[in-house]
Structure 1
Amino acid sequence: MTRLSDGGLGSPATAGGPSAPSGRPPAAPSAVPPAHPRRWAGLAVLSASLLLIVMDITILNVALPALSADLRPDSVQLLWILDVYSLVVTGLLVTVAALGDRFGRRLMLISGFAVFGLASAAVLLADGPGEVIAVRALLGIGGAMIMPSTLSMIRHLFTEPKERATALGVWAATAAVGSALGPIVGGALLEHFSWRSAFLVNVPVMVVAVAAALWLLPESRAPRPGRWDAVGTVLSIVGMVALVYAIKHFGKDGLGDTGALVAAGIAAVALPLFVGWCARTPYPILEVRLFRDRAFSAGALTALCTSLAVAAVMLLLAQWMQLVEGYGPLETGVRLLPAAVGAAIMAPAAPALAARIGARSVLAGGLAVSGVGYLVIVLGPRPLSYLAVAAALALTGAGMGALAIASAVIMVGAPPEKSGSAAAVDECSYELGAALGVAVLGSVAAAAYRGDLPPSWLAERGVTGAAAVDARESLGGAMEVAAQAGAAGAELAARAQASFTASLEGASLAGGALLLAAGLLVWFLTPSDLDISDSDH
């Protein structure tokens, strides 16, 4: 079997430090350390914290209408409320992962719990959009500290390869379930409390998480971290923040947006410099040489494409259920559950399935199953019904669950002292994928929606000026205009709902095609004899 630790890049001897000079044969692998006695309880702490982080992202989608009605943010402020979290997380992931490797991964995790809890409590002081943006930025700092730390600590808690693969499957299932539970929890909270409850629910959980982490989790750090890579730190933060900013604003404002063009130019300069710097320096903040391993690259590509397709379509489905089908927030959350059920079934089973049919088949097959799920939305009976959507969600969730192998491939392919870098790659792949998905597929859907509501059609029904702009900007805006449009309101509402449904189908077609193409590429990229349970690390 091909081992991820073979071929040079999965072993410390060729990971890029000065202890591995070029041309010297790799050192013999060290004995597997004894398993930590409380590793499964530790996994429960790590998974619970990840569950909350992922839920917090999707809870906001449900809480946003109530927040907007209370604080009245303008369009720019609303964009920043949505975007600042991912900007901060993506910009800091590489840096905080390297800090965890250097100073202690448990220390970084507990610090992240504290920041996340304090930021959540600070929402009580927020009485305007600016304060909410600041709270979201602080949550992003905490999230960036927590997310890669959970993954790299699993790498060190579970030293036996088969157990580690199972633990990574549980971790991936938790992430998938959290994204589906977020709207349910958010909907239940908003039925009884204000939008602030979507933030405050984090506080008691973070208090328990800090205590449990201090008791159950061991400290771990890189044995020889070397000097701090200040140049790489600056380049990674500048480049990643600029890239995500450009992606999001191109998606919203088009390719002519000046700020997005400037950000894209900065990213185009900073990120190649960052990669080149990390490839040359003996102590890089991110071990980019890991990408020379085809399996490692396949895992990162799988995470990127999965997140890209899922983020946009799931957001559109949530809006479709509320604004077209008329479900409330809690009802919408419950109807998104088939994705969580599919993921919860498949993710823990993915390592065993990979052992039976091969990791390559599971990686590529998971992408294909998710892709077919999205095509069900397009090819199912007309008009689109929840029954077709539920089937699509179940298939998509099952495919996402199988992609637990992607995280296993990424993490097992890295030497222990580079687990922070590997975790940062994994998380950056998902974060960038989500940003790209909302920007690219969201733009496809928005263009289709606006194209089916031309200004001439609106003008014939007396909808002009700012009202026409609002109606073409979003389905929510169209429904508000329709409510005030008199006799033409019913016709406008029906046309807008039909246009949004068509745009959802278009985005689903694009997402399904992307996942099928990515599955084919991953199939050819991944070694046929790859075995994630056979590793010296």
Structure 2
Amino acid sequence: MPSVTQPVAASPRTVDPPVRRWLTLAVVSVSLLVVGLDTTVLNVALPTFVGELGASTSQLQWIVDSYALMSGSLVLFCGSLADRLGRKWIFMSGLALFTAASVVAAYAGSVTALILARGVMGVGEALIMPATLAVIGNVFPRGAERTKAIGIWSAAVGVGTVIGPMVGGWLLSHYWWGSVFLINLPIGIAGLTAAALLVRDSRAPESGRLDPAGALLSVLAVASVLWAVIEGPDRGWRSPAVLAAFAAGVLLLTAFVAWQRRAASPMLPVRIFRHRALASGDLLVLLGAFALIGTLFVAVQHFQFVLGYSAGQTGIRLGPAALALLVAGPLAGVLAPRLGMRTVSAAGLALLSGSAAVLATTGPAEGYGRALVSMLLLGAGAGFVITVTSDAIVGSLPEKDLGVGSATNSAAIQLGAATGVAVMGSLLSDRYRSGLDDLSAPVPENLLESAKESVGTALALAERIPGEAGTSFADAARRAFVDGMGPAMFAGAGVTAAGMLLALVLTPSRNADATGIPPQKDSS
């Protein structure tokens, strides 16, 4: 494709009227709310797939992970497409694909069809996420207004993620399982219509040719690492397949960086990582996503299996996290210009660490009150971290790199989320299994081995054991799960505490500029 010298949209110095800017933000934020929701809506629907579709444990994992694998591995390439082909059209293409695949998923007649549909939805998200952030970076001028806009953008991402189990639980209480996907249809159609009318297109003013070699290397590198992270808990972190995938990811990533340094029109210009705000922002949002998604993964199970809430009741009890995030995202947009990226991101990571620590020290007999504190801290911390890091990343970039630079943010979130679930889930599972091994009461060996798959399975099996023995086995399984929460959540607390220190050391100081972003030194 020849070099583009006449951009579709005006340069970033041409600013839309205020009303149109905020309408544009509303369109992309509502679309992102659905994308964020779909990341976690399946958490409460997985048991239903066992009964309705006969899904195995491995298939359940891939219903969730096919989405993350496709989205995470393709997002950098899709970000580069947005810069070259037009951010509005890439966003609309992704939303159309996501909506259509949601309908297919809703009416899937087999597990295989559902896994494939979820993978296509992941491709849609890869097209949507970087394009929306780049659209905001292009429409809003640098400064406090853009920071506030990104605060709302990050709140939409985070709130969608947190309310996913809430919406899923309500839908499953009233409709069939396909409704958790079909809800995307009206919102997707409305979003496409509004985007066509309101969102202005833009692309990089000097976009070059596509970089197919760089795209292939990036997809394979990220896919290898994500596959290893996803499969590590089941196959074992030291299994030959997992180690080989990690090694392949490192080698492919090295080859990708080397190619990007020499390519005439690189997909991901390595020079953008010279901006401290972008490099530190990607690292910090990865750590924040590790804690946010990992904590939600554990909390949903704790609410349902230990505290005994239904799917709908579990969703309601996650609501405070969504409300806290809805407040914290825009609040971070107000505080960042005054306090700087360093202070706000460190505060957010400290709140996330506190949230994990509260759950880590929760006992088997404690009720929802302690978990409520954790949920409030979780939402507030996520809102601070996502907002300030996303703003720093966008603010670091020249116009021609907005799409692919924004994609580094999305890739970091995906990798952090997958790693959080894998690591925290693995620690939880290991301690839970060892807790069942230490049972003093005799339990049939075949039941014990099945119970080790999950606490949900153990509780179902306990109902088959008559009398007091069944009650004792269920109580033991709950205690083993709560014991497993300790190392899992302490891992989340430790990671985010380390992230807080990194934020204080690595991020630019407040006097770099109003948002804590260093002055532009890029000569491009």
* Cα distance per residue 1:282-306 (max 9 Å; x no partner): 3211123222222222111110000
The one of 255, 263, 282 aligned to 2:264: 282
The one of 494, 497, 517 aligned to 2:475: 494
The percentage of counterpart residues that share the same residue type is 36
Specify the code of the residue in structure 2 equivalent to 1:130. T
**Equivalence map 1:145-184=2 (5 Å):** 145-184=127-166
* Cα distance per residue 1:443-462 (max 9 Å; x no partner): 111111111111x638x523
- Structure 1 spans left out of the alignment, 5+ residues: 1-16, 20-29
User: SS of 1:477's equivalent?
Assistant: helix
CA–CA separation in structure 1 for the residues paired with 2:217 and 2:98: 25
- Structure 2 spans left out of the alignment, 5+ residues: 6-10
CA–CA separation in structure 2 for the residues paired with 1:107 and 1:392: 40
CA–CA separation in structure 1 for the residues paired with 2:356 and 2:31: 29
Specify the code of the residue in structure 1 equivalent to 2:161. S
Q: Which residue of the partner structure matches residue 482 of structure 1?
A: 462
Question: 1:120 offset after TM fit, Å?
Answer: 1.2
Q: Which residue of the partner structure matches residue 435 of structure 1?
A: 418
Q: Which residue of the partner structure matches residue 140 of structure 1?
A: 122
Q: Which residue of the partner structure matches residue 255 of structure 1?
A: 237
- Aligned length in residues: 507
The one of 327, 337, 350 aligned to 1:355: 337
User: TM-score normalized by structure 1?
Assistant: 0.91
Question: 1:380 offset after TM fit, Å?
Answer: 6.0
CA–CA separation in structure 2 for the residues paired with 1:125 and 1:314: 27
For the pair 1:305 / 2:287, whether they are aligned, the reply is: yes
Specify the code of the residue in structure 1 equivalent to 2:415. L
Specify the code of the residue in structure 1 equivalent to 2:110. G
The question of whether the paired residues in 2 share the 8 Å contact of 1:35 and 1:159 is answered with: no
**Judging changes above 3 Å, is the alpha-carbon distance between structure 1 residues 325 and 31 closer, same or farther for their aligned structure 2 residues?**
closer
Question: 1:109 offset after TM fit, Å?
Answer: 0.8
**Judging changes above 3 Å, is the alpha-carbon distance between structure 1 residues 298 and 124 closer, same or farther for their aligned structure 2 residues?**
closer
**Judging changes above 3 Å, is the alpha-carbon distance between structure 1 residues 380 and 480 closer, same or farther for their aligned structure 2 residues?**
closer
The question of whether the paired residues in 1 share the 8 Å contact of 2:82 and 2:131 is answered with: yes
66-75 or 280-289, larger mean C-alpha shift: 280-289
**Judging changes above 3 Å, is the alpha-carbon distance between structure 1 residues 346 and 194 closer, same or farther for their aligned structure 2 residues?**
same
* Cα distance per residue 1:402-453 (max 9 Å; x no partner): 1211100111011111011211110011000011111111111111111111
CA–CA separation in structure 1 for the residues paired with 2:512 and 2:152: 21
Q: Which residue of the partner structure matches residue 8 of structure 1?
A: none
Q: Which residue of the partner structure matches residue 406 of structure 1?
A: 389
Q: Which residue of the partner structure matches residue 446 of structure 1?
A: 429
Question: 1:228 offset after TM fit, Å?
Answer: 1.4
Specify the code of the residue in structure 1 equivalent to 2:411. C
Question: 1:128 offset after TM fit, Å?
Answer: 1.0
**Judging changes above 3 Å, is the alpha-carbon distance between structure 1 residues 69 and 532 closer, same or farther for their aligned structure 2 residues?**
farther
For the pair 1:419 / 2:402, whether they are aligned, the reply is: yes
User: SS of 1:406's equivalent?
Assistant: helix
CA–CA separation in structure 1 for the residues paired with 2:75 and 2:57: 28
CA–CA separation in structure 2 for the residues paired with 1:356 and 1:161: 11
Question: 1:33 offset after TM fit, Å?
Answer: 2.5
Q: Which residue of the partner structure matches residue 112 of structure 1?
A: 94
User: SS of 2:439's equivalent?
Assistant: helix
**Equivalence map 1:252-401=2 (5 Å):** 252-379=234-361, 383-401=365-383
User: TM-score normalized by structure 2?
Assistant: 0.93
Q: Which residue of the partner structure matches residue 129 of structure 1?
A: 111
User: SS of 1:457's equivalent?
Assistant: coil
146-155 or 346-355, larger mean C-alpha shift: 346-355
**Judging changes above 3 Å, is the alpha-carbon distance between structure 1 residues 256 and 485 closer, same or farther for their aligned structure 2 residues?**
farther
The one of 467, 472, 493 aligned to 2:452: 472
The one of 75, 83, 86 aligned to 2:65: 83
CA–CA separation in structure 2 for the residues paired with 1:69 and 1:531: 56
CA–CA separation in structure 2 for the residues paired with 1:382 and 1:125: 40
